[in-house]
Amino acid sequence: MKKRRGRGPRLSRRSFLAGTGAVAAGLSFRPGLSWAGEEPKLNFYNWDTYIGETTLDDFKDATGIEVTMDLFADNDELFAKLKEGNPGYDVIVPTNDYVERMIRAEMLTPLDHGKIPNFRKNVAKAFQDAEFDPGRKYSMPYMWGTQGIGYRKSKVDGVPDSWKYLLDSDRYSGRIALLSEGVLGAALKYLGYSYNSKDPKEIKEAEELLIRQKPHIKVFAEDNGQDLLLSGEVDLTMEWNGDILQVMEEDDDISYIVPKEGSLVWQDCLCIPTGAPHPDNAHRFINFILDAEVGAAIADFIQYATPNEAARKLLPDEYNNNPAIFPSEETLARCEAAIYLGEDVQRLRDEAWTRVLAA
């Protein structure tokens, strides 16, 4: 999965402050070692602007543990950095399909749920188990979101609440951008199949649908659909909700909807990589983040959907009722998370995509 953080210049100042805070925390001198035999340090590997403004300082005040935060740009980078051995990170934030990959590659440490009481206490039922990590042995939910349609309100008729407008219609011909990543799944969804379909016939059908629609599509975007939308290059784009939320802050004419056929739902998780030097501190940090007030402060700052039920109760309606953050229960029920499909299916789907692009 590609980058979808880095919430633009408006927030970069805050991320800078958070960064300097982390550096300052790293530099400040604390004499003596801590109680549990583990030095009071923690190395956190996170996305950019993806933590509360004071979360790391608050954690230090509460526990005396100093957090050093490094940033990665996408899951590929995170995966590549840890693939040949953990360079010293204690807590990482992979997305669900990469959690699954990392479990298979034995890159994650099993979690001790006894040390994370906030998980059972605060996290919504729907997130207490996961298909990609049965029993939540390796991962705790951090934030989640969707893929959907970002659109310019003044240029479309009504609300484009179906994949039809993007994938099977000439109504908005030449004003559509689709995401290279996930468009095959969206086509499968539109046809009424699973986002994770393994059936060659269904994949072929999705491929043919996309080839038929190609003349009406302006561009298969990498991860810049929001920029194309903002600059007026297109009027409808398939995108990650976080990216569209970012441009919605700049332009009132832009909105976001998860199509009624359902879509992709993603989940970023807190995990402890194999070989983490401070596993006890890591457990304490994860438990701290899953606290109601801490989770509320983070979600309020970064404006992503939190799986933390207790935290949501502390947050205003304007956050809880924002359809770009929380789609309706009904739509959400039709969304699926990407799962690992095996090498053969992956190859089948990549070849289908190559044929769409070559057609």
Partner 1 sequence: MDSWRKNPVVFWALNLPPTIWLVVFFIIPLGLIWVISFGEKRGVVDIEITWTLDNYLRALDPLYLGIFWKSIWMAFLATVVCLIVGYPVAFAIAFAPSRWKPLLLLGLMVPFWINILIRTYALIAVFRTRGYVNFTLEWLWEKAHAALTLIGIDPTWLLGARFDPLQLLYNNFAVNLGIVYAFFPFMVLPLYANIEKLDRTYMEASLDLGAGHWRTFISVVLPLTWHGALSGIIIVFIPALGAFFIPDLLGGTDSQLIGNVIERQFKSANDWPFGAALSFLLMYATFGALALRSLIAGRKQGLEI
Shortest Cβ 196–partner 1 spacing (Å):
15
Does 218 participate in binding partner 1 (rule CB under 8 A)? yes
Q: Is 250 in the site for partner 1 (CB under 8 A)?
A: no
Q: Which two tokens stand for residue 275?
A: 């070989």
Q: Which is nearer to partner 1, 101 or 278 (CB)?
A: 101
Question: Which range in 126-134, 193-201, 218-226, 250-258 contacts partner 1 by CB under 8 A?
Answer: 218-226
Least Cβ distance, residue 349 to partner 1 (angstroms): 8
> Which residue from 331, 167, 196 is spatially nearest to 259, judged by alpha carbons?
331
H helical segments located in the chain: 8-27, 55-63, 75-83, 96-104, 117-122, 164-167, 183-190, 200-213, 225-230, 241-248, 279-289, 292-302, 309-313, 317-320, 329-333, 343-358
Rounded to whole angstroms, the maximal C-alpha distance in the chain is 69
Task: State which of residues 36, 126, 159, 357 lies at the interface with partner 1 (CB under 8 A).
Answer: 357
Residue 353, classed as helix, strand or coil, is helix
Q: Which two tokens stand for residue 101?
A: 């990959």
- Comparing CB distances to partner 1, the nearer of 72 and 220 is 220
CB neighbours of residue 35 within 10 Å:
7
Nearest to partner 1 of 317, 343 (CB atom)? 343
Give least dist CB 273 to partner 1, A: 14
**What is the DSSP secondary-structure string of 19-67?**
HHHHHHHHHS---S--TTSS-SEEEEEEETT-S-SSHHHHHHHHH-PEE
Which 51-110 positions form the footprint of partner 1 (CB under 8 A)? 76, 83, 101, 104-105
Contacts of 48 (CB under 8 A, 6+ apart): 5, 6, 15, 71, 73
Whichever of 76 and 131 has its CB closer to partner 1, that residue is 76
Return the range that interacts with partner 1 (CB under 8 A); candidates 7-15, 53-61, 228-236, 297-305. 228-236
Interface pick for partner 1 out of 65, 206, 217, 229 (rule CB under 8 A): 217
Which of 231, 250, 313, 328 lies at the binding interface for partner 1 (CB under 8 A)? 231
**Tokens (6 digits) for 97:** 């399909």
Q: Does 359 bind partner 1 (CB under 8 A)?
A: yes
Measured distance CA(226)–CA(242) in Å, rounded: 10
To partner 1, the closest distance from the beta carbon of 317 in angstroms equals 36
Q: State yes or no: residue 233 binds partner 1 (CB under 8 A).
A: yes
Amino acid 14 reads: R
Residues that bind partner 1 (CB under 8 A): 76, 83, 101, 104-105, 181, 214, 217-220, 222, 231-233, 340, 343, 346-347, 350-351, 353-355, 357-359
